[in-house]
Amino acid sequence: MSETKITPAKTTSSYDPVRGAVIIALSEYDKTGKSLDVAIQNAKEMVGLDPRDNRFLMLLINGIVKMRRRLDYQIRFFLTRPSEKLNVKLQNILRLGFFQLQFTDKVPQSAAVDECVKLGRYFFGDAKSRMVNAVLRSYLREPHKAAFPNPNDDPVRYLANYYSYPDYFVNYCLREFGEEQAVKLLKQMNLPSGLTVRVNLLKAKNEEIEAALKEAKIGFQPGKYLDEFITLDTSAIDPLRSLLDEGKIYIQDQSAGMAVRLLNPRPGVNTLDLTAAPGGKTMYCASRMRGKGKVVALDKSRRRLEILTENCKKLGVKIVSPIVCDAVQFKSEELFERVIVDPPCSGWGTAGRHADLRWSKTQEDINQMNRIQRKLLETGAALLKPGGILVYSTCTILRKENDQIVEEFLLRNKQFQLDSASQFFDESVVSERGFIKTYPAFDRLDGGFAARIKLKPN
């Protein structure tokens, strides 16, 4: 945790406590490499924020982390010594200022500048506060001084700096989708994410939840692909707290639910979730099985399985058997009629929801995950009964973690065949090869992939 001591907000008037918490969280995240969520929680506790301030806090933090490459690129144009390495907190104060001036409609320019100047004075004294003031006001006078690379000469570098992504991901998007669709995707993943919930049919019906949302004046749309899912017009969780606590709804994206629908676990079957925690797909399987049969839930993390067990209890799920085990080492005399393999992945389908993902995953990470993904698919396939169904699913949009894994597996294992997803979903989300593919830019879904694989009967 940062060593900076902050007076609780109720006794502090020298700066805005929400923006102070932003600087503390971002600086801890940059310095320590801890998860962004941990850094945010530490900052909240240190500053003593009112829960009502959380939405503004998260808007600023998530936005700054997403747009960090662009902000840093622009800031250098307005420094007296552009090559000078800035103190981490000073860098984040400038990022905060540039972000507010460009991406927050409801913050007046004067307030954005003045609050950053106050933070500069609080953390560094008058000299640095004057520097913050000069840089931000210089940007307001000459915003176009920060010239981006020519998109015709170097499209990857231009898009990576302008939309704030690592080069390798921009390069992939251009190759995969073409420039127009790539830009659409990059833009979408920079916007604040919405919220989708699954109605827990073991405890509630859609009509009950929709009535509660209307009473709370929360706008929503029924799920386009799955009836139990509802997409909300807000990302705020507080108005839904009672429904969540009672286990009547569960926060889950439709793209994750589509993998379970593709698995189609029926009442009475034995199902295996090879990498289960925290349990979203596990519990949806149990719901679709109407509480009849068994779902074996594996995970190598005891703590994560404890969370899964707590979630099951809350949602009234009683047919899940959790087992602490590294999936690749799992042995079972019993074979399963349904197996879901949801391996660790880069998460590039959820980059709009997880702000720090774009900076925490490298090309080498993806290469390493590829090896784990192949091994987990082989493990899951060995546990499948003849005639049984396996679904391989991820929350990434990269072919190396998706199509390539499945196609290579099918080439090596002729006793398995691809079962097209078109029998469950329409062509808008099913590729020519029969895979489910979803993208944030095209249908208010997280990006994801799922393939239905059948073991031929003996």
Q: What is the mean pLDDT of residues 295-303?
A: 94
pLDDT confidence of 54, banded at 50, 70, 90? confident
pLDDT given for residue 32 in this prediction: 85
pLDDT at 88 over 60: yes
Q: What does the pLDDT read at residue 287? A: 94
In a domain, 3, yes or no: no
Write out pLDDT tens, residues 319-358: 999 999 999 999 899 999 999 999 999 999 999 989 999 9
pLDDT of residue 7: 35
- Adjacent-strand bridge partners of 221: 231
- Please compute the mean of the pLDDT values over residues 444-451 and round it to a whole number: 93
Q: Is 352 helix (H, G, I), strand (E, B) or coil?
A: coil
Which residue would you say has higher pLDDT here, 55 or 72? 72
In this predicted model, what pLDDT tens digit does every residue of 106-132 receive, in sequence order?
899 999 999 999 999 999 999 999 999
Predicted local distance difference test score (pLDDT) of residue 13: 46
Same domain, 363 and 449: yes
Same domain, 211 and 299: no
Is the same domain home to 93 and 212? no
pLDDT digits (tens, 9 = 90+) for 173-197: 999 999 999 999 999 999 887 789 9
Q: Where are the alpha helices (DSSP H) in 316-438?
A: 357-360, 363-382, 403-412
Kindly state whether residue 357 falls inside one of the protein's structural domains.
Answer: yes
Quick one: 24 and 173 in the same domain? no
Confirm whether 150 is domain-assigned.
Answer: no
Which pLDDT belongs to residue 52? 76
Residue 46 confidence (pLDDT):
82
**Is residue 84, in this structure, part of any structural domain at all?**
yes
Instruction: Please provide residue 99's backbone torsions phi and psi, each rounded to the nearest 5 degrees.
Output: -65, -45
244 and 264 co-located in one domain: no
Give the relative orientation of helices 403-412 and 363-382 as an angle to the nearest 10 degrees.
Answer: 40
Domain membership of residue 316 (yes or no) is yes
Q: How confident is the model at residue 8 (pLDDT cuts 50, 70, 90)?
A: very low
> For the domain that residue 296 is a member of, what is the CATH number?
3.40.50.150
Q: Is-contact 294 285, C-beta < 8 A?
A: no
Same domain as 209, residue 126: no
Reading the block at residue 205, the tokens are 């019906």
Is 4 inside a domain boundary? no
* pLDDT, tens only, 359-406: 999 999 999 999 999 999 999 999 999 999 999 999 999 999 999 999
What mean pLDDT do residues 163-176 have?
Answer: 97
Of the chain, the percentage scoring pLDDT greater than 70 comes to 97
Across 139-163, average pLDDT = 95
**Domain shared by 170 and 316, yes or no:** no
Co-location of 218 and 172 in the same domain: no
Closest CA to 337 of 457, 245, 232, 418: 457
- Average pLDDT across the chain, whole number: 92
Find the domain containing 202 and state its range.
Answer: 195-251
* Cα radius of gyration rounded to whole Å, the chain: 24
Lowest mean pLDDT: which of 12-16, 152-156, 300-304, 417-421? 12-16
Residue 4 has pLDDT above 70, yes or no: no
> Same structural domain for residues 203 and 284?
no
Same domain for 35 and 65: yes
Distance CA 102, CA 231 (A): 28
Mean of the pLDDT values across residues 446-458? 95
Q: Are 321 and 287 in contact (CB under 8 A)?
A: no
Percent of residues, the chain, with pLDDT higher than 90:
81
> Do residues 281 and 360 both lie within one domain?
yes
Determine, yes or no, domain membership for 2: no
Q: Indicate the pTM of the whole model.
A: 0.91
Cis peptide before 278 (omega within 30 of 0): yes
CA distances from 388 to 266, 375, 424 (A): 12, 19, 17
The answer on pLDDT for 12 being more than 70 is no
Mean pLDDT of 52-74: 93
CATH code at 232?
A: 3.30.70.1170
- The β-bridge relationship of strands 294-299 and 320-324 is parallel
Q: What's the distance, Cα to Cα, between the start and end of the chain in Å?
A: 58
| pLDDT at residue 410, as a whole number | 98
Looking at 222, 251, 280, which one is the last position of a domain? 251
Give the largest CA-CA distance in the chain: 79
- Residues with Cβ within 8 Å of 310's Cβ and at least 6 positions away in sequence, in order, are none
Q: Is residue 408 part of a domain?
A: yes
Q: When comparing pLDDT for 419 and 192, which is higher?
A: 419
CA-wise closest residue to 375 among 346, 409, 403, 398: 409
Query: What pLDDT is recorded for position 65?
Result: 97
Q: Where are the beta strands (DSSP E) in 246-355?
A: 249-251, 270-273, 294-299, 320-324, 336-341
Closest-CA residue to 68 (of 39, 34, 29): 29
Domain count, the chain: 4
Report the distance separating Cα 160 and Cα 186, nearest Å. 9
Residue 124 sits in a domain of what CATH number? 1.10.940.10
Same domain flag for 292 and 440: yes
* Residue among 69, 63, 65 at smallest CA distance from 160: 69
pLDDT score, position 105: 86
Q: What phi and psi, each to the nearest 5 degrees, are found at residue 113?
A: -70, -50
Taking CA 420 as the corner, what is the angle to CA 416 and CA 423, rounded to the nearest 5 degrees? 135
* pLDDT tens-digit readout, 32-46: 877 898 899 888 888
Q: Would you say residue 238 has pLDDT above 80?
A: no
What pLDDT is recorded for position 235? 75
Confidence of residue 53 (pLDDT cuts 50, 70, 90): confident
